[in-house]
Structure formats: C-alpha cells, structure tokens
Amino acid sequence: MPNPELEMVVAMLRSAPVFADADVATMRAGMEAFTASAPLADDIRLEAVDAGGVAAEWAIADASRDDCCILYFHGGGYVIGSTRTHRRLVGSIGRAAQARMLSVDYRLGPEHPHPAAVEDGVAAYRFLRAQGFAAERIGIAGDSAGGGLTMATLLALRDAGDCLPAAAACISPWVDLTLSGESMTTKAAVDPMVQRDGLDKMAALYAGANDRRAPLVSPLFADLAGLPEILVHVGTAETLLDDSLRLVARLRAAGVEVSLDAYEDMIHVFHAFAGILPEARDAIDSIGAYFRRRLTRPS
C-alpha cells in the first residue's frame, strides 16, 4: 500500500501541467519552474566549468574527496532539463558518495540531435581524465534519459579504446527509444510522470533521422560486453520499468557485473523527491555507498 508521502508526491505530479502537446520552449520552462522550489543544500558549492568544450558545473559537498568524482547526466528525454533542474539531486548524491560531481549541460534535441549528447558525454569524461582523475576514481551516473546517456557514453568510450571508469549508476534509465517494453502499457495507469506519447515525441526530437534501435540511441540493443560494474535503480510503478529489467538481463548475459534495486510502488526518478520520501533518501544513500566502495578501492 503506498505510503502517505508517496501519495502526496503522486497527487502533486498529477496536478502539475502536462506538456506532451506543448512546444519545446514551454516544456523546458515548465521543468525549470517545477524544480525551482528545491533549494540547494548549504553544504554544496557550485562552480561553472568548460568541460572540454561542454558547459558543465561542479557540485562539491563539504565531505567530497578531491581524488574521486562522478560524471552526471540529467534526465529530461534528451530535450529538456539542465544542470539547474537537477542541482539538489546531484548535490545529494555527491554528499552521499563523498565525491565531486560534474553535472553536464549536454546539448539537447531537436536543435542538436543524436549523436551530440553522446559526443558531449565523451568529451566531459575525457576532460576529467585530463584534469588528472584516474579512471578507477571516476564514476558515471544519470537519471532517465541521463541513464541512457550514461550507457551510451560508456559504449562510446569502450569502442574508442578509452580506459573506462570504475563504475556507473543508472536511475530509471531510458534505454529503449522504440518504446517496446510491456510496462509502457501495463504501468501506464500508475505512472504519474512518464507516458508513451510524451516519450515518443521526445524520441523523435532527439533521434532525428537516426534509427531508434541504433546502439548509441537505444543502448538496450547494443553489445554490452566489456562495460564496468553498473547499479540500476527503478521503481515498480513506472512505465520505464521494463527498460531497467531488460537492460539488467542483457548486461548479465554479456558478463557485466550489475545490481538491480527495484523499489516497490516507487515512481520514475523518485530520488528527486528526497525532501519528502524516506525511500528516496535511502536510495540516494545506497548509491552513495556503492560509489564510495568502488571509487576508493586500491588501484
């Protein structure tokens, strides 16, 4: 049975404007406005940075180590969202992980269709390496489309022969832009945030003329061998549930070490509601502990 805090969040989301039929500018402004009420914690400082030609922002908690960092990709369907919309979530993960966070304002569709976002992800990772961070002290993480970009960036780095980061974490990742998962239908009634029509619109704006099944567009269909350890978080009340379940199955089949935490009754990227949901705070703590173990292992 959903708890009162979750019911509050679901009611808030269901009462929020739906932007599936809006233009891109309206959708972007809506997300910025919706997240503006989540203030940044006092122990997080921000520093704008040019990350190899990509606009980015350091989020550094008081407890962050100087030798560990996490590259973070925000969600928003590859069309909306920014470092601003995700500052609270990024800062909370960095505090829990005791690592510096580099949040990336990767280029968005439709102005910059695929592969612009992947190119920016690769450039930001190489920026971290050029700054002196050892690969075994770098993690990559992202939510929703940012989770898909996490996977696509790892694949692009692998294929280019780069030394891969120590670990990755995907929160409610969108890895199938063909929208073929059964949960797109079976979870539609309980998901207050993500629905097929909105995703289909964003997939078209991002993929452009590219095949939606292309490996770096929809990493679910890629050869996943040789990737580092990956943690996947997902809620059981989201239309993208099957993206996570199928991704984990394919990672395991490819011999990749992967862990799945499916949170009962939780919604898409519930971590963003840590100010209300105790489950979100627990999930962020879990991600932090995961990265603390992986990024501080002896070389």
- Residue 182: how many CB atoms within 10 A of its CB? 12
Question: In this predicted model, what pLDDT tens digit does every residue of 77-96 receive, in sequence order?
Answer: 999 999 999 999 999 999 99
Fold held by 4-295: Rossmann fold (3.40.50)
Section 116-143 average pLDDT: 98
Question: In this predicted model, what pLDDT tens digit does every residue of 2-25 receive, in sequence order?
Answer: 589 999 999 999 987 666 678 999
**Could you give the CA distance from residue 269 to residue 74 in angstroms, rounded to a whole number?**
11
pTM over the 0.95 mark: yes
pLDDT higher than threshold 90 for residue 65 = yes
Q: Is 268 a catalytic residue?
A: yes
Domain residue spans of the chain: 4-295
Q: Is 238 a catalytic residue?
A: yes
Q: What is the mean pLDDT of the chain?
A: 96
Which residues, at least 6 apart from 205, have a Cβ–Cβ distance to it below 8 Å?
Answer: 24, 77, 78, 79, 109, 110, 113
Set 144, 172, 183, 218: catalytic member: 144
CB of 117 closer than 8 Å to CB of 108:
yes
Set 74, 86, 233, 268: catalytic member: 268
**Could you give the CA distance from residue 177 to residue 180 in angstroms, rounded to a whole number?**
8
The DSSP call for residue 221 is G
Q: What is the CA radius of gyration of the chain?
A: 17
Supply the pLDDT for residue 22.
87
Q: What is the residue whose two structure tokens read 């962050």?
A: 64
What percentage of the chain's residues is helix, strand, coil (to nearest 5)?
Answer: 40, 20, 40
φ and ψ at residue 274, rounded to 5 degrees: -65, -20
Set 183, 238, 244, 286: catalytic member: 238
